[in-house]
Amino acid sequence: MFCNGKRRRQVMAGLLSVMFLAGCGNGSVKIAEGMQLVADLNYEEALVRFDEAQALHENARLLARGRGIAYMGLTDYEQAVSCFQEALKSSNGLVEEIDFDLNYYLAAAYTKSGSYAEAEETYNAILALRPKEKEAYFLRGNVRLALAEYEGAKEDFDKVIAMEPDNYDRLVSIYEVLEHYGYGEEGKKYLQQALETGEKQMDTYNRGRIYYYLGEYQKAYNALEEAKNKGGVESYLYLGKAYEATGDYNYASSVYNGYIGKNGGNAEIYNQLGLCEMKKKDYRKALEAFNAGRQIDDGTIQQKLAFNEIVAYEYLGEYQKAAVLLEEYLKNYPDDETAKREQRFLSTR
């Protein structure tokens, strides 16, 4: 069984396509074209390019990998698993970076299909060869929670935190997944411990966002107000969300607009501003914010912006426009169950 030292929490086809294109120097032209189509979310056309690559006898392992990623985009996880396994079987017997890359993808496909035990086994295989692979421990912890194996998940998360105690992004991710599976209080213990052990070296941004997740909003305001003076977009986002959490949407929107006025547009800021305007029931302003975000987004939150735009049109009563956009949205993100429910709702309007 055998993903790459470029470790990731989730499959991000656009980013990995760029990595692939940058490193593809073996004449696999059609495969490179297919990966660019994957990055553009055009999965069906990508599969056509991969068929052309096969006819030209381009690199078989990269071809199977590309097909697997495209099938994941089409939510055909069974086919994706088959492709990644095919690529792994064509190994020359030496464990290479691409073998780790393929195993991460294989585990992601298993996870997406709900085959959590198989995903856990795949992460086991990675860790057997790379026992210090932090991403594998984190992701195995995720699937163990899905398997209701809390103690095993906690062991994995403890290892990750021990290996990188100052990685507060990871710490927040661990809290979020624990909260998702109903272990929010256990997740808060990790956050509280981080505050107690790292408060002296922890900067105001990280302190502020940890206070935010702990629900200590006054402390969050104080830390994040100081942090935002340094200009960091994340500080503005958490400061605004902290005010939203207390129901002060007017001040929250002023925080987001303050960032835009000072630093220019940012997709995440526009998205959060739009959500804030939705809570204020100003759906036209919300729509303007989502549209502005879509114009400058680099692809990282395009899905969120596109979906939120559809919801804003619904609240404005423009159901036909929303339905057209939703149909297009589901072509790009066919496994979004919330969007499918929204489509059923719109069909009744």
**pLDDT digits 0-9 by tens, 192-216:** 999 999 867 899 999 999 999 999 9
Q: How confident is the model at residue 27 (pLDDT cuts 50, 70, 90)?
A: low
Please compute the mean of the pLDDT values over residues 85-93 and round it to a whole number. Answer: 91
Give start and end residues of each alpha helix (H) in 246-282: 249-263, 267-279
pLDDT tens-digit map of 297-313: 667 899 999 999 999 99
CA–CA distance, 179 with 74 (Å, rounded to integer): 29
The answer to whether the beta carbons of residues 314 and 287 sit under 8 Å apart is no
Q: What is the pLDDT of residue 231?
A: 72
Nearest C-alpha neighbor of 35 from the set 2, 22, 343, 57: 22
Q: What is the pLDDT of residue 25?
A: 46
The proportion of the chain whose per-residue pLDDT surpasses 70, expressed as a percent, equals: 91
Give long-range contacts, CB 8 A cutoff, 24+ apart: 337-340.
338/307, 339/307, 339/310
pLDDT tens-digit map of 250-276: 999 999 999 999 998 899 999 999 999
Higher pLDDT, 15 or 20: 20
The proportion of the chain whose per-residue pLDDT surpasses 90, expressed as a percent, equals: 80
CA–CA distance, 199 with 190 (Å, rounded to integer): 13
Nearest C-alpha neighbor of 119 from the set 133, 109, 128: 109
Please report, to the nearest 10 degrees, the dihedral formed by the alpha carbons of residues 94, 95, 96, 98 taken in order: 120
Domains of the chain: 1-130 (1.25.40.10), 131-201 (1.25.40.10), 265-349 (1.25.40.10)
Please compute the mean of the pLDDT values over residues 127-132 and round it to a whole number. Answer: 96
Q: What is the pLDDT of residue 26?
A: 55
Does residue 337 register a pLDDT over 60? yes
Does residue 55 register a pLDDT over 60? yes
| 179 Ramachandran zone, left/alpha/beta (phi>0; psi -120 to 50) | alpha
Q: What is the pLDDT of residue 232?
A: 87
Higher pLDDT, 155 or 13: 155
Higher pLDDT, 331 or 107: 107
CA–CA distance, 21 with 292 (Å, rounded to integer): 29
Please compute the mean of the pLDDT values over residues 277-291 and round it to a whole number. Answer: 97
- CA 56 to centroid of chain Cα atoms: 34
Nearest C-alpha neighbor of 6 from the set 151, 127, 143, 135: 135
- Is residue 300 helix, strand or coil? coil
CA–CA distance, 175 with 56 (Å, rounded to integer): 48
DSSP-assigned states of every residue in 162-201: HH-TT-HHHHHHHHHHHHHTT-HHHHHHHHHHHHHHHTTT
Question: For 71, how many CA atoms within 13 A lie in the half-sphere containing its CB?
Answer: 23
**pTM for this one?**
0.86
CA–CA distance, 14 with 40 (Å, rounded to integer): 7
Element housing 332 (H / E):
helix 319-332
Q: Which of the residue ranges 9-13, 34-38, 259-263 would you say has the lowest mean pLDDT?
A: 9-13
Provide the total of helices (H) and of strands (E) in the chain, helices listed first: 20, 0
Please compute the mean of the pLDDT values over residues 51-61 and round it to a whole number. Answer: 96
